Structure 1
């Protein structure tokens, strides 16, 4: 079992409109697609596509919270969320004919101290039944800044693997607990380590420093269309996808996290895990629907991924 944690879930609304976004005017929505949103829920769907059992958790409240759970149920994703008094947020993405994307992201309603403690009570049994856990995305107001560190510590005490994919203060605090894997970008490495990155070697050096300083087993740095770097005890590896025509890169990072979680569950060696994660991420990029892949695409891309020891 793989468990995904999304503390700041949302109802994601994709609005498709004719023409382009014109401030101060009325736009008629041609089509609306609602989905259970939040980075960890994208991860959960990818894990399900890859054929592993997955369980989703986090906070959910009000009518929107019930809707998120219903949407997940429709996707075939088992879930159990800690209930909160406030309404779960909504996020809107306006997709226009000129191929622009305009997003409105609500911050997430405040969560009380009592609700945070209830989450930890609910969470402990989930750790027991999980082989791998992922923690993704932002945290709502009211949640203490060290919440991810607390979660990582509890998971590690049970001897389970944990992937942390977040940013800002949540990442700075979370890495202090030494998660199994993190997925920072260059900007996050710069902010946490106080360094300047201008070339690939500096990225490698920063990732090595991050790994050594915080005792993180795998530091994965996404390089966009150029694949990803992994710094690990086994070595430093650069994986590259084949040349593809990307149609939607939103959710590629979440797809990579989901694939790495599957690879950990299947106990793949790091080079095999990196190849698999890049293939899954690339399969997301050629699919117009965010957080969705076709396994036939993964199987076609996988042999074309190249792995180089740095």
Structure 2
């Protein structure tokens, strides 16, 4: 079992239009509603991979009830803490030339009793899992060290933990030594207070972070796949050339695949190959946090993994 934590859930609305024009009334060709927040994307992809997951975090109001209904319809297991604060909505505007513009609501404030209730629930449900993923932002009212606390609770029970966040949440969270983090180049720069130019400097930055007490640092490289830095080695996994449809959720798909790799006991090269293939397959569908098994299997056979 893999537990996915999404503290700032959302209804993700994908609007397909011809071209975004500022100050004009735009006609949407197609709208897709998806239960969103990075951890819910992770949970759906884990299900696509054929593994069991349990989604948790906060839900509230009419939007939260809608998300619960959609997750149940998708047969994604869930056990949330419910609040009086309305869950947010986020919009992704997809233009015909492939441009993606995201509008992300912050999430309504939560009270201390809400946070305390979730921490209590988390302490109980993690007994049922082997792997925990913690993804994304938190609503106002949640302390910035919340992920450090959750990681500490999970590690005390010998669970593997993947942390995928940014800013102060990442800076505080890594103090607890998660098993893995998945930063991009911008997040490495912010965490270390440096400027990065080129792959070699990305690797050096990831090595510095790995030495902070993290087993694996996986750096997403977009169409170039991903790097994984361990204590002893650096690996690069590169997918074949594909024509993408929607890249939103590909990073979450990578997190899901790494979580599945931990659950199944894959070695690092097999885990990286699988994660790159699942992430790339996600870009071939319009639905965020989803992939077709035949796409993943085809891409998997063509992923090149190199030890640098």
TM category, shorter: over 0.9
Alignment deviations for residues 58-96 of structure 1 (CA, whole Å, 9 cap, x no partner): 011011111111111111101111111110011122334
Aligned to 1:114: 113
**Deviation of the 1:272 alpha carbon:** 0.5
Aligned pairs for 1:1-310 (under 5 A) are 1-17=1-17, 19-212=18-211, 214-310=212-308
Taking the aligned partners of 1:221 and 1:97, their CA distance within structure 2 comes to 29
CA-based RMSD: 1.4
Q: Per the alignment, do residues 169 and 235 of structure 1 end up closer, same or farther by CA in structure 2, a change over 3 Å counting?
A: same
* Structure 1 unmatched runs, 5+: none
**Deviation of the 1:99 alpha carbon:** 4.2
Give TM-score, length-normalised by structure 2.
0.96
Taking the aligned partners of 2:291 and 2:69, their CA distance within structure 1 comes to 21
Taking the aligned partners of 1:98 and 1:231, their CA distance within structure 2 comes to 35
* Structure 2 unmatched runs, 5+: none
Taking the aligned partners of 1:137 and 1:185, their CA distance within structure 2 comes to 13
CA contact (8 A) 1:234 1:270 kept: no
**Deviation of the 1:16 alpha carbon:** 3.0
SS for the counterpart of 2:79 is strand
Alignment deviations for residues 121-178 of structure 1 (CA, whole Å, 9 cap, x no partner): 1111111001101000011100000000000000000000000000011101101110
Taking the aligned partners of 2:202 and 2:102, their CA distance within structure 1 comes to 30
Taking the aligned partners of 1:282 and 1:233, their CA distance within structure 2 comes to 26
Taking the aligned partners of 1:173 and 1:240, their CA distance within structure 2 comes to 31
Give TM-score, length-normalised by structure 1.
0.96
Alignment deviations for residues 167-218 of structure 1 (CA, whole Å, 9 cap, x no partner): 0111011011100000011221122112221121111111111111x21000
